[in-house]
């Protein structure tokens, strides 16, 4: 699983990465994390605001801070 955090590195972006890492660890998911900070790379995704969370190239949320339970729901295998 490839998880990307899109954002400049602000406190909200860092918090989103922390929550996502914690949720992945709790679920025992082996994931690769990438924090995308370059604006041209962020603009390649359909997001208007950051932070944004992308899981396996699918944008799950942008512009708000999801709860850990919400993140865990996106990470769980179907």
Q: Which two tokens stand for residue 5?
A: 């955090």
Which tens digits make up the pLDDT trace of 27-69?
999 999 999 999 999 999 999 999 999 999 999 999 999 999 9
Residue 37: its pLDDT value, please?
96
Report domain 2-75's class: alpha beta
CA distance 30 to 27: 9
For the whole model, what pTM was predicted?
A: 0.93
| Active-site residue (options: 5, 6, 13, 72) | 13
| Active-site residue (options: 1, 2, 9, 10) | 10
Residue ranges of domains in the chain: 2-75
Q: Which two tokens stand for residue 67?
A: 């709860």
Active site residue 6: no
E strands present in the chain: 2-6, 32-36, 52-55, 58-62
Active site residue 32: no
Whether the pLDDT of residue 9 is over 90: the answer is no
């Amino acid at each position: 699983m490839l998880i990307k955090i899109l954002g400049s590195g602000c406190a909200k972006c860092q918090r989103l990465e922390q929550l996502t890492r914690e949720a992945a660890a709790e679920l025992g998911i082996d994931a690769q994390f990438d924090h995308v900070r370059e604006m041209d790379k962020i603009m390649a995704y359909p997001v208007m605001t950051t932070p944004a969370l992308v899981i396996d190239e699918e944008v799950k949320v942008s512009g708000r801070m999801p709860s850990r339970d919400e993140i865990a729901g996106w990470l769980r295998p179907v």
